[in-house]
Amino acid sequence: MTTIDIWLNEEIGRINPNIYGHFIEHLGGVVYDGIWVGEDSEIPNIKGFRQELIEKLKAINPSVIRWPGGCFAETYNWRDGIGPREKRPTTVNWWYMNDGKLESNQVGTHEFIDFCKLVNAEPYFAVNATTTTVLEARNWIEYCNMMQATTTLAQEREENGSPEPFNVKYWGLGNENWGGGGCMTPEDYCHIYRKYGIISKSVGQDLQFIACGPYEDIPEWTAKFFDKYKEMYTVGRVAPMFGYSLHYYVTNTGRMGTELTYSDAQWYELMRVGLDMEPFIQSQFEMIRAAMPGTSIGLVVDEWGVWHQQNGRHPLPGKYLFEQMSTMREAVLAALSLNIFNNHCDKVVMANVAQLVNCIHSLFLAKGNACVATTSYYVFDMFKIHQHAISLKTEIKCKNISYSIEGNPYDIPSLSCSASLKDGKLAVTLANLSVDDDQEIMLKLNGGQYTSNGRMVVLSSNNHMDGNSFEEPYKVTPVEQTISAGGFELTVTMPKASVVLLTLDVS
């Protein structure tokens, strides 16, 4: 039997709700057809945004949304997206690829802020640090955040319909600047980052700057960046840093099968790479703390998810760029990733799954009138209870799974778990990584006891390759049941390839 020890008195920290964040980029079908259908559309909408998606997204407490990219941010001119929509310029956007590469700019700063308000999320803006100037970034911040009736830019915002400032707090300074964001060296980028210190003095009210960190396979970026940053920090001439961004995709170029069909070994291989997020977080955090002792820089995993790239980076026929289907495999991967973030909430202050709709590890698929919630959407729904709660220490004793792929043997644990406590309610989320075995799990409580019956929500399907689609939008949805609990121990049975939420009163 699998056992999990949970310590009520051993707190890891408070789970920042921003760990449950999202990412919207002007790429493929994310913005246009995804969230935006236009005010004149026959598709039910609020201020031009797809109503069904708004309602479903709001229901899972989306906390924070990153925009407008990604790579798109590195060629974005924020001025193209303000003012009367009919007068906005049409610009080139390589990230539509097969759709004529044209950007209508119908969704700009004001619309994106409207969207955030509609779903009750904080905006997180990514600044172009590659093809524009620090002054342009300062102007964008001033346009968004200066009080009414102050500067000319604040007045322009008012003329464009928003007298009240947007108070955008989170600003990412660049995106993947080691690659698409300018092919910079860590030293080049640090030099640019330094200049933003001046902005923080001129328009900085509670601004939280996020610096560009590495992709998982370029760890030397962090050491070199912080060597330079430290030098400048010591003399006080560098932008302060709230967060350091990490991108971590589980990239499948064929080794893990296809989106919809995979062998057991290919399922496990995807989980193994997903589990490697944990040492990546730990090692990046240690490097930052070693370089900058006494500072509180947190990790912002602002792009993560499963990315199927069997076709390289080209759109699949009849699909948007990077559009992919998902199954229970993405759901279990999402659950184990969120468990990792909860368990490292003393390090991770934000995470944004890539991307919200019609792209990579989506929570929605949307086309025409249809808006389907994927299996991962339900995982976010089940896990939202962790937001603001205190993450607790847990220890799992479970069976390992052995498999081999391309002739190489591997071992992974069969279970992932995190636990949190809020207002006397214990929430435990579990991912059963095994496609072969249900698991009987005993949850032992240390430092307290279960005081009443609880609730168990299960996301699973008879076939672990099942998922939701336009044809079968509700094939996989969570099922809820009550469970009896009391004393110090509770035993539950968890189906294979499933995600479970347990909520229990404890004292």
Question: Which CA distances in Å does 58 have to 117, 119, 188, 381, 457?
Answer: 10, 4, 40, 10, 20
| 23 versus 403: smaller Cβ distance to ligand AHR | 23
Task: Give me the least distance between CB of 354 and ligand AHR, in Å please.
Answer: 4
Contact between 323 and ligand AHR per CB under 6 A: no
Q: Rule CB under 6 A: say whether 306 interacts with ligand AHR.
A: no
Q: Is 29 in the site for ligand AHR (CB under 6 A)?
A: no
62 binds ligand AHR (CB under 6 A): no
Continuous segment of H or E residues that includes residue 331: helix 328-343
Residue 269 touches ligand AHR, criterion: CB under 6 A: no
Q: Which residues of 379-411 are buried (b: 16+ CB within 10 A; e: fewer)?
A: bbbbbbbbbebbbbebeeebeebebeeeeeeee
Classify residue 435 by burial, with Cβ atoms within 10 Å: 0-12, 13-18, 19+. Answer: buried
3-state DSSP call for residue 436? coil
Cis peptide before 355 (omega within 30 of 0): yes
Q: Are 306 and 252 within 8 A, CB to CB? A: yes
Task: At 196, list the tokens.
Answer: 């933003």
* Residue 252 near ligand AHR by CB under 6 A: no
Q: Is 302 in the site for ligand AHR (CB under 6 A)?
A: no
Q: Does 70 bind ligand AHR (CB under 6 A)?
A: yes
- Asked if residue 69 binds ligand AHR (CB under 6 A), the reply is yes
For the question of residue 176 being annotated catalytic, the response is yes
74 touching ligand AHR, by CB under 6 A: no
Instruction: Pick between residue 25 and residue 466 the one whose CB is nearest to ligand AHR.
Output: 25
Q: Does 103 bind ligand AHR (CB under 6 A)?
A: no
Could you tell me the smallest distance in angstroms from the CB atom of residue 72 to ligand AHR? 6
Distances (CA, A) of 118 to 24, 108, 145, 213: 15, 15, 19, 31
Backbone angles phi, psi at 486, to 5 degrees: 175, 155
Query: Which one of the listed residues 111, 142, 216, 303 is annotated catalytic?
Result: 303
Is residue 164 annotated as part of the catalytic site, yes or no? no
Closest to 17 measured CA to CA, from 499, 359, 341, 237: 341
Q: Per rule CB under 6 A, is residue 177 in the interface with ligand AHR? A: no
**Of 93 and 391, which CB lies nearer to ligand AHR in the complex structure?**
93
User: In angstroms, what is the minimal distance from the CB of 27 to ligand AHR?
Assistant: 6
Nearest distance, CB of residue 176 and ligand AHR, angstroms? 5
User: What does the alpha-carbon distance between residue 29 and residue 303 come to, in Å, rounded to a whole number?
Assistant: 17
Separation of first and last alpha carbons in the chain: 26
Which among 13-21, 47-55, 158-166, 352-360 is the span making contact with ligand AHR, rule CB under 6 A?
352-360
Kindly list the residues in this chain that would bind ligand AHR in the complex (CB under 6 A).
25, 69-71, 175-176, 303, 354-355, 360
Q: What residues are labeled active site?
A: 176, 303
